[in-house]
Amino acid sequence: MDYTNIFVVLFIVGSAFGFLLDTTLDFIDFRFRKKHGTEIPPMLQGHVDESVLKKTCRYEDAKYKFSIPRSIFGLALGYYLVFSGFYPALFGVVLGWTENSFFCAYFFLILGSVPALLLTVPFDLHSEFGIEKQFGFSKMTLGLWVADRIKGLILNLLLLAPLIFAATMLFKHAGDLWWLFLGVVYLIFSLAVSVIYPIFIAPLFNKFQPLEDGELKTRLEKMLDSCGFKASGLFVMDASRRSGHSNAYFTGFGKSKRVVLYDTLIEQLSVEEIEAVLAHELGHSKKHHIIKRLVVMIPLVFVVLYAVSIFIKMPSLYSGFGFAVGDVVPYQMMVVGLFLLSVAFGDFDCLVSPVSNFFSRKDEFEADAFSKKLCGSGDALVTALIKLNKENLSEIQVPKIYSVFYYNHPPLLERISALKAEK
């Protein structure tokens, strides 16, 4: 281990920076909540009471206090795995099993994720069966929780395999242009997953039933038709089987597009409010937010992969973390290089959050405005947002710096103010 190596330094600094930033922001929010958490803003007078706000504070405090040991153990594990030489030792073991570049890379990535996975299990269990059940959200049984984890693990293993296979083949046969072809493969793969997800993947975890005939279905279909939005159907998801949290979303691509409503959402909101929520989701489509995001993300994928193609050929990337390489990095090691770059740079993604959140919140305001225009008023969306905020025990007020880093949706009061504005 070379502690002066630039990639190792980036890992050490990035991990500490990410931990300190998260810890500081969470503490700022905690202190703000202690001071203002039970205050009822003027625009919410009559909509919320002090008992709800006190319960919200207890819920957020429980999550905050639980996040502290989770973050500390996560940081300690990350440092231990790197400083102990775990990853070079693991690669040596896998290389002893097989010299096939695909299987070597595949097994290395899978086994390399096992320590973090084992660490998260007790924390996830406490979060689900301690905090979430304590506050009335979790409807999980232990059997269902285990089944979900097993299905998710198998699904991840299946989805990871073709990407790793493509990468190893391109490293071997595509020369210095592997990054260009891998970018194309990744985009095609992502598109394919978005098409098959609502049809084959989502039903592995939840049941989806067509929305029953009635006023709600009639009004939602009329609204979709008025906007020219073509979907394969309106579906209700059995979210209440697992949680009391609620939501609605569009999923799929092309002919596989469908509208999904949580059954909890239908129970908590009126027909007018559900219509306003769906109009908001429809606004994302009509304002082309997904397409605009793709216009940015697609070139970014290739820029990142090109930068990776430069770093991945540097022997210092591998030697700094204890891997034995010569002056030329063999293609069999390049997937390891991808992993090491994620280790070195992974915790700096928090610096990107304020930028991505800014544009995401901008899109949310536009979708709210679209809903207001389509429904003729923003009143139904306002009451829907307040109800959802109360049902989910979400904080009403947070420090500005906290929302900048963590909120990809505008805080509740900002959304209500915008919806009640004349223009």
List residues with catalytic annotation.
281, 368
Tokens representing residue 399 in the block:
């420090």
H or E segment to which residue 251 belongs: strand 248-251
- Beta bridge partners of residue 61, listed in sequence order: none
SS3 of residue 79 by DSSP: helix
Q: Are strands 234-237 and 258-262 parallel, antiparallel or unpaired?
A: parallel
H or E segment to which residue 234 belongs: strand 234-237
Residues in the chain: 423
DSSP secondary structure, 268-336, as one string:
HS-HHHHHHHHHHHHHHHHTTHHHHHHHHHHHHHHHHHHHHHHHTT-HHHHHTTT----SS--GGGHHH
Is residue 393 within 8 Å of 60, Cβ to Cβ?
A: yes
Is residue 202 within 8 Å of 104, Cβ to Cβ?
A: no
The DSSP 8-state label assigned to residue 211 in this structure reads P
Hunting for tokens 């059995």 — which residue is that?
238
